[in-house]
Amino acid sequence: MSRSLLEPYNAFEPLKDEYFTRDNDILLRLSAPYTVALITECFIGLLISSHFAIIRAESKQVDSRFLYWWLLQNRQKFHKMASGGTMMGTISSGYIRKMLFTPPPIELQRKIGILFQLANREQRLLLRFAEVKKRLISGLLQNNFREKN
């Protein structure tokens, strides 16, 4: 995501710090498609809409990258628990608090979190590489076509 997509918000009163993103916060959209995002350094200090729940792994027993992975893996649970009779059903932040979550030992969580982070980084690099290669081949084909005509 790019910071250019963000909108300014002018508050008339001071807002509580809990409404702003912190490093390693996890944001969960409370309506379909129940998007999950891990906040990194460049997105610290952003005001979060009420359409999202902020999940903070403040305990030394839970690694935020692992929790991010776990929430992504369990998004179907949110679909099942959504209230309302429409496809755009919402879940409450209270439901998130009550979800049964028994994390594995912290060292295993850290390993899973790091592996997941590395796999995501690799995927982004592969996509970027494929796009650059596509442009290179396209340029080569255009140059060869122009030379022959």
* CATH number for position 123: 3.90.220.20
Q: How many domains does the chain have?
A: 1
Digitized pLDDT (tens) for each residue of the chain, 149 residues in all = 556 667 788 888 888 888 899 999 999 888 888 889 999 888 999 898 888 989 887 778 899 999 999 999 887 777 676 655 555 678 777 777 777 778 899 999 999 999 999 999 999 999 999 999 999 999 999 988 876 65
The sheet with strand 26-29 has its strands ordered as 36-38, 26-29, 52-55
φ/ψ of residue 132, rounded to 5: -65, -40
Residue 128: predicted pLDDT: 97
pTM of the full predicted structure? 0.75
Cα–Cα distance, 138 to 149 (Å, whole number): 17
Tokens 């295993």 — which residue? Answer: 108
Residue 121: predicted pLDDT: 94
Helix (H/G/I), strand (E/B), else coil: 103: coil
Q: Which domain holds residue 18?
A: 3-148
